[in-house]
Structure 1
Amino acid sequence: MSVSVRIPTILRTYTDGESEVTADGTTLAEVLDDLDGNFNGLKGRIVDESGELRRFVNVYVGNDDVRFLDNLKTPTPEGTQISVIPAVAGGS
């Protein structure tokens, strides 16, 4: 199933500058595997060495944060938009 994935500016070096790419998969894990097959190294910036989402990366399927769904097992229906958003911290 084809989905659209929005890529944050900091990771666009992996997608040749593209802000949005397409990928296939019925779950977020499958989509990330497909992305890594097309854009080598991208998955490693989203998922850590233990296979979990990195602490300071938020991923949304539609409008829902996958951490409140099924994490990497979250279904990704045809036409869904996935957003990868780096967490922002700081301030005074």
Structure 2
Amino acid sequence: MVEVTLWGSLAALADNQKQVEVEARTIRELFRNLGARYPGLKPMMENDVAVSVNGVIYRDQWSKELPQDAEIFLMRRLAGG
């Protein structure tokens, strides 16, 4: 199990839970299991989120392993150019 902090408006899509515990070994599993529990998050996780693991932001590396004691944040991607 890992503990994930849902940043900003993402918490509203997860029954207003700001922190959730999820069984996941990788970012891909995190997305799959969060989407199963909170279907409202699914569309956001397809293209609009980034994951911070111990302060490093991952945008497309979904096979990244999640340490059990990691600080994990799920947040909306920032647009820029």
User: Please, what TM-score do these two structures have when normalized by structure 1?
Assistant: 0.71
* 1:58 matched to 2:50: yes
8 Å CA contact 2:4–2:71 kept in 1: the answer is yes
| 1:42-90, Cα deviation, whole Å (9 max, x unpaired) | 132122xxxxxx2x533111211124xx711110121322212224568
Note the aligned Cα RMSD (angstroms).
Answer: 2.1
Taking only the aligned residue pairs, the percentage that are identical comes to 25
Task: Indicate the structure (1 or 2) with the bigger Cα radius of gyration.
Answer: 1
- Structure 2, unpaired ranges of 5+: none
Give every structure 1 segment of 4 or more consecutive aligned residues whose post-TM-superposition deviation is greater than 6 Å.
Answer: none
1:76 equivalent in alignment to 2:66: yes
Q: Tell me which residue corresponds to 1:3.
A: 2
Cα distance in structure 1, aligned partners of 2:2 and 2:71: 6
Letter of the structure 2 residue corresponding to residue 7 of structure 1? L
Normalising by structure 2, we get a TM-score of: 0.79
3-state SS of 1:12 partner: helix
Higher helix proportion (structure 1 or 2)? 2
Instruction: Kindly tell me the number of residue pairs found equivalent between the two proteins.
Output: 80
